[in-house]
Structure 1
Amino acid sequence: MDPTSSSSLRWNILRQALLRRSDSQSQAETKRISRKATQGFNLFPSQVVDSSPQSDHSREACVCYTIPTTGSPKLYLTKRVDNCSDLNDFEISNRYNIDNTGLVCQWPSEEVLAFFCKSQPDRFRGKRVIELGSGYGLAGLVIAAATEASEVVISDGNPQVVNYIKRNIESNSMAFGGTSVKAMELHWNQHEHSELTNTFDIIVASDCTFFKEFHKHLARTIKMLLKAKEPSEALFFSPKRGDSLDKFLKEIKDIGLHYVLTENYDAQVWKRHETLVKGDEAWPNYDKNHCYPLLIQITNHI
């Protein structure tokens, strides 16, 4: 195998994560091939406010996000910062048939989802909302803090991630006003959640369509969660990533749901995208197909 090929370099990223070591050459190779962004779309001012040196939390930091809206409210998210995985991460992934991408970083599509939602408070006011595959929960927390939704459920299938969500909800409880906020472990391949059937006005999710083996379960979950007899919608933000998004949208259509795909949905996000396409050191390997999230609005009715 060519050591400079994309596949070889991606295997090297995994090797570094497992061995917890890297050198200057491997760091340069990782930067060249990885789609991970240092600052993403840079839509929320943020800064690390605590990085604990204690052995129990040496992998974590607390990051303060300022919501760009009236009063500039702040949210504090505890997350991993060491860019390493351990065997326990993979053991849990295998046990629950899930991925561990929610632990890796705050993904750019989640940032875009959060920014879009805070810009449309009327869309969420008084609504029951659930976020799927939330990772550390930025979008769900922004909705809870900035839109006056009646309830926000922040869910993920990875129990490690859900523990972070619970901690982040607790850290920001004073920011939610009258909005009820809770974390939930929700697996898309388990459909016995009768208490959740047809209960949500809005579903939100970001970058949840990458793994094709989860498409059918995800489509079924959307249909189960959305209110059937009242106006309801799912708002997904996902890059095309080859044919992955197209295959997911086929599952949406096959299950009897409808969707509208929008490329330019926010002037500030689009302007940032155009800047990144031209070249930006903050995201050196930016590629529209793999990095720019499209907006997919999914409904029960046309």
Structure 2
Amino acid sequence: MDQNKDIFGFNSKCSITLNEVIQFGNEKKKVARRRWAILAKALKSPTESQPSSPTDEFSVRRISSFMLLKTQELSTIPIIPAESQCIDQIKKRTWFKYSITVDEYDYFINVGHRNRTFSAEDLMGFNNTGNICIWPSEETLSYYVCSNLEKFNHKSVLELGGGMSCLAGLFAAKYGKPKRVTVTDGNKVSVDNVQVTLKCNEFETSVKCKVLKWNCYDAAEKFDVILCADCLFFDDARADLIECLWACLANDGIAYVMAPQRGNTLDNFLSQSEGKGFICKKIPNYNNIVWEKRLALLNHCDYNDNIHYPILIEVTKE
């Protein structure tokens, strides 16, 4: 099998044009429709706020979810902040409890989902994929964070490309006892959502959220730990991401980058990062629970390790 393609022969770079949908046969059209349906489902209903489910018939990631993250809709708003200007934004969202269980201990973040459709302006902004659903790399990175909280103790933490929830960064902020945390995304809609989410969670450390595009960063601000989930599939943005990592990572810091192999995209990131001067350690088996779930999926007809299994890359300067 061509490892640059998925189970039906699609190129694995996570982009399908309408021409491709017309061109391919029935099975390939079916997969393409599923991919488009993730976006279409978000657009159709102004009341649609449910997180995409691993069993959702429209979701191409239903096999690639590793069932590590549980969602529960909350009947009431979790926290009402003192600032009155935030209350309207909070009430415009449906609230969910996102929880992860590690060694019988539950970790959770309250996450708001906007009760409206996406506008054309939203969708044409900087990468909107993080506004649609929680992807497996973010799921597994969040699980890795909750399984290794000691790595964040008294550290400054930055999350890049965190999407509408910035889950990995917020789990680190809430449970890892870090010195400070900054969560970011290049899409303002995602950042606005996270800023409201911050008001409905309790943190014992400083947590900031801001728009950060990888070609525009504060090189003077350094971080001990950087988190990054599924940000490698944009070929045109990869060089900017690597420059951003280099500028923001402290000399003795470490970045945890989680992404599937997805054709050559992960290897291209490794080679370009090492060309920049980074030391990259590729870790397929970074957690026994995640690894066992992967092994259970290997013989599933819809599962493709190349595009579904997130691999951990530890990135350091020395």
Q: 1:226 aligns with which of 234, 249, 259?
A: 249
Q: Deviations over 1:148-170 (max 9, x none)?
A: 01111110000000001111111
What's the offset of the Cα at 1:59? Answer: 9.1
Describe how 1:140-219 pairs up with structure 2 within 5 A.
Answer: 140-172=169-201, 174=202, 176-177=203-204, 179-191=205-217, 193-196=218-221, 199-219=222-242
Q: Deviations over 1:229-269 (max 9, x none)?
A: xx211001100111111111121011111100011110001
Q: Find out whether 1:89 has 2:122 as its counterpart.
A: yes
* Conserved? CA contact 1:67–1:75, under 8 Å: no
May I ask how many residue pairs the two structures share in their alignment?
271
> In the alignment, which residue of structure 2 is the partner of 1:24?
none
* Conserved? CA contact 2:278–2:316, under 8 Å: yes
What's the offset of the Cα at 1:287? Answer: 1.7
> In the alignment, which residue of structure 2 is the partner of 1:25?
none
Q: 1:4 aligns with which of 16, 19, 26?
A: 26
Q: 1:288 aligns with which of 292, 296, 305?
A: 305
* Conserved? CA contact 2:239–2:272, under 8 Å: yes
Other structure's SS at 1:72 match:
strand
Counterpart-to-counterpart distance in 1, 2:264 and 2:29 = 18
Q: Deviations over 1:105-151 (max 9, x none)?
A: 01111111111111112211000000000011111111011110111
> In the alignment, which residue of structure 1 is the partner of 2:315?
298
Q: 1:129 to 1:41 in 2, by over 3 A?
A: same
Q: 1:36 aligns with which of 52, 57, 61?
A: 61
Counterpart-to-counterpart distance in 2, 1:31 and 1:161 = 25
TM superposition score normalised by structure 1: 0.80
Other structure's SS at 1:201 match:
strand
Q: Find out whether 1:108 has 2:136 as its counterpart.
A: yes
Other structure's SS at 2:223 match:
coil
Counterpart-to-counterpart distance in 2, 1:294 and 1:253 = 17
* Conserved? CA contact 2:152–2:177, under 8 Å: yes
Counterpart-to-counterpart distance in 1, 2:76 and 2:121 = 23
What's the offset of the Cα at 1:37? Answer: 2.7
> In the alignment, which residue of structure 1 is the partner of 2:154?
126
TM superposition score normalised by structure 2: 0.76
What's the offset of the Cα at 1:210? Answer: 1.1
* Conserved? CA contact 1:37–1:108, under 8 Å: no
Counterpart-to-counterpart distance in 2, 1:130 and 1:114 = 14
* Conserved? CA contact 2:156–2:223, under 8 Å: yes
Counterpart-to-counterpart distance in 1, 2:183 and 2:90 = 23
Other structure's SS at 2:94 match:
strand
Q: 2:272 aligns with which of 230, 251, 258?
A: 251
Q: 1:3 to 1:268 in 2, by over 3 A?
A: same
The one-letter code matched in structure 2 to 1:156 is: D
Counterpart-to-counterpart distance in 2, 1:39 and 1:64 = 21
The one-letter code matched in structure 1 to 2:32 is: R
Counterpart-to-counterpart distance in 2, 1:223 and 1:7 = 40
What's the offset of the Cα at 1:11? Answer: 6.0
* Conserved? CA contact 1:239–1:290, under 8 Å: yes
RMSD: 2.9
Q: 2:295 aligns with which of 266, 271, 274?
A: 274
Tell me which protein shows more helix as a share of its residues: 1
* Conserved? CA contact 1:78–1:168, under 8 Å: yes
Identity among equivalent positions (%) equals 28
Q: 1:76 aligns with which of 110, 114, 117?
A: 110
Other structure's SS at 2:40 match:
helix
Q: 1:61 aligns with which of 89, 94, 99?
A: 94
> In the alignment, which residue of structure 2 is the partner of 1:27?
none
What's the offset of the Cα at 1:50? Answer: 4.6
